[in-house]
């Protein structure tokens, strides 16, 4: 049996349109309810995010929008208990409204399953949000295993998250697994570090990033053309 491990964000769907809409909705809401400027919201959101990242680096909680909203409320002298959960929902409602599965994902997943390849999702961030994303994208019935960095205790590229996925799949040999992801420093470095061959989905053209355990593909359409030769 072989397994295919996939990153979620910015691999199976485009992250930027979602994040931009989330920020737009958050900003519009705060401009109208708190009477502050758009620039102030964006500046303080960014510094709140950086503060949380610095405090909680390489953990799932470092990406938690609820914590960003808590710092944002604090920076405006507002009660975070009153506002932050609602602000988080405003952001995610905007985010989910723009979330669209890449058209190549279902054909890739169906082709893998037809070849008895199990599919796992290995993703940073908290389980609650990542499960919501997978349900929104309609992927739950294709996926055998999910591991979030919340469950593993550390973000990629920490080997713990990759090993937990292999353990859940009862897979002892990393050479029978492949990983697909967009981030070189997280997905590719992490997968390669425990001997998993990785497909790096990226337009980046830095030659030093090539190695025998890494195959670069420019997009999922290209991946779809070659992945079945590797399982």
Q: How far is the CB of 230 from Mg ion (least distance, A)?
A: 20
Q: How far is the CB of 187 from Mg ion (least distance, A)?
A: 7
Stretch that binds Mg ion, among 72-80, 126-134, 180-188, 211-219 (CB under 5 A): 180-188
Stretch that binds Mg ion, among 56-64, 66-74, 102-110, 183-191 (CB under 5 A): 183-191
Q: How far is the CB of 156 from Mg ion (least distance, A)?
A: 9
Please name which of 101, 59, 56 lies closest in space to residue 70, comparing C-alpha atoms.
Answer: 56
Nearer to Mg ion, 83 or 95 (CB): 95
Q: Where does the chain have alpha helices with state H?
A: 15-34, 38-56, 65-75, 80-97, 105-114, 127-137, 149-152, 159-168, 189-193, 220-226
Nearer to Mg ion, 21 or 124 (CB): 124
Measured CA angle at 16 (ends 57, 45), to 5 deg:
50
10 binds Mg ion (CB under 5 A): yes
Distance CA 42, CA 17 (A): 16
102 binds Mg ion (CB under 5 A): no
Residue 187 phi, psi dihedral angles, 5° rounding: -70, -50
155 binds Mg ion (CB under 5 A): no
Q: Which residue has the tokens 């420093």?
A: 185
Q: How far is the CB of 42 from Mg ion (least distance, A)?
A: 23
Residue among 7, 102, 182, 187 flagged as catalytic: 7
9 is catalytic: yes
Task: Count CB neighbours of 206 within 10 A.
Answer: 9
9 binds Mg ion (CB under 5 A): yes
C-beta separation of 90 from 69 below 8 A: no
Distance CA 16, CA 197 (A): 27
124 is catalytic: no
Task: Count CB neighbours of 82 within 10 A.
Answer: 9
Q: How far is the CB of 162 from Mg ion (least distance, A)?
A: 14
> Count of residues binding Mg ion (CB under 5 A)?
5
182 binds Mg ion (CB under 5 A): yes
Burial of 95 (0-12, 13-18, 19+ CB in 10 A): buried
Nearer to Mg ion, 62 or 183 (CB): 183
Q: Find the binder of Mg ion among 3, 5, 6, 7 (CB under 5 A).
A: 7
**Interaction site with Mg ion (CB under 5 A):** 7, 9-10, 182-183
Catalytic residue annotation: 7, 9
């Amino acid at each position: 049996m072989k397994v295919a491990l996939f990153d979620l964000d910015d691999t199976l769907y485009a992250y930027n349109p979602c994040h931009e809409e989330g920020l737009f909705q958050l900003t519009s809401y705060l401009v109208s309810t708190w009477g502050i400027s758009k620039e102030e919201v964006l500046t303080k959101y960014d510094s709140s995010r950086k503060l949380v990242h610095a405090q909680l680096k390489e953990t799932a909680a470092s990406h938690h929008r609820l914590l960003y909203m808590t710092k944002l409320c604090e920076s405006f002298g507002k009660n975070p208990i009153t506002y932050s959960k609602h602000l988080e929902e405003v952001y995610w409602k905007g985010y989910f409204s723009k979330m669209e599965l890449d058209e190549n994902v279902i054909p890739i997943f169906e082709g893998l399953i037809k070849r008895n390849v199990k599919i796992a999702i290995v993703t940073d961030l908290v389980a609650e949000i990542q499960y919501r994303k997978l349900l929104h994208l309609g992927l739950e019935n294709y996926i055998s295993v999910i591991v979030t960095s919340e469950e593993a205790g550390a973000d990629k590229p920490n080997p713990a998250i990759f090993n937990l996925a292999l353990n859940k799949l009862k897979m002892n040999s990393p050479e029978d697994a492949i990983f697909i992801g967009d981030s070189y420093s997280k997905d590719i470095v992490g997968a390669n570090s425990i001997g998993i061959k990785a497909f790096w989905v990226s337009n980046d053209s830095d030659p030093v990033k090539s190695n025998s355990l890494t195959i670069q593909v420019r997009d999922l359409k290209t991946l779809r053309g070659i992945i079945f030769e590797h399982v």
